[in-house]
Amino acid sequence: MEAVLSSYLAHLAVERGLAVNTLASYKRDLRRYVDHLQARGRLELDQVAEADVLAFLSALREGDGDHPALVASSAARAVSAVRGLHRFALREGVTGHDPAHQVRPPRQLRRLPKPITVDEVELLIAASGPEGAPLTLRNRALLEVLYGTGARISEAVGLAVDDLEAEQVRLRGKGGRTRVVPLGRYARESLDAYLVRARPGLVAHGRGTPALFLNARGGRLTRQGAWEVLQAAAERAGLAGISPHVLRHSFATHLIDGGADVRVVQELLGHASVTTTQVYTLVTVDRLREVYAAAHPRARQ
């Protein structure tokens, strides 16, 4: 069993190219699975039955003296690792059956995004800082880009000046994928003001960098720095629970509310699958139900 486990982990690292953190999680989950099997007297993978796998899933959800109960998402990851191990063992001829084939990961609750309203977005951007200050111009441009393009915070701070192209911006997303997103008038005007009136002074404090958004020392603004900009603006605006991801959610939800096609929003967000984007349509449907229930005479109870 140990030899199969080592071979499978090597397969994940070399042939599948799993990230270091993901591989560490798989290794931890599978080590717990092997311990579980051995405690049940299963010393070879060929001895494992579906009941053993189901018992492991139950143990994950209930916890024990050595392990706390796992939430559905963590338990699902562990079950996926187990299913992968058994598929690998069957494919390699180590076992003659796959006891995990019919075992499904626990269903996860859909985590719906909680967008802020357009009025709250305007309050947030208006709270960028003292009027006319160089860092305020930068902060406003950053917030306009985050909301106006739906960029992830890593994509925004990763921008270079050369990524701006007239009325659009080039974003580099997950997996090295690049996409071009339109820039609205508010974002363009804020960027122009920052580039002309603030960035030259900031860059003079550093060694020169192509980065678009700079810190007070003239270096590239970090993700943490951008997060602090957003939190400070949210505090001044009296808004709670604001994060870069909330702005991204709001960007997508407001587009859907405005009639944008879900596949267009998928492209703008840089989602590999439209399934990921469809969560925003569910939010909008919920909103429509609320409006219908409040406004239609035949909907009232």
Q: Which active-site residues does the annotation give?
A: 152, 174, 245, 248, 271, 280
Strand, coil or helix: 129: coil
* CA 43 – CA 196 distance, rounded (Å): 70
Give me Rg for the CA atoms of the chain.
25
Helices (H), the chain: 2-14, 20-39, 50-62, 72-91, 118-126, 134-149, 153-157, 185-197, 199-203, 223-237, 244-257, 262-269, 274-277, 279-295
Q: Integer distance in angstroms from the first to the last C-alpha of the chain?
A: 61
Amino acid at 209: T
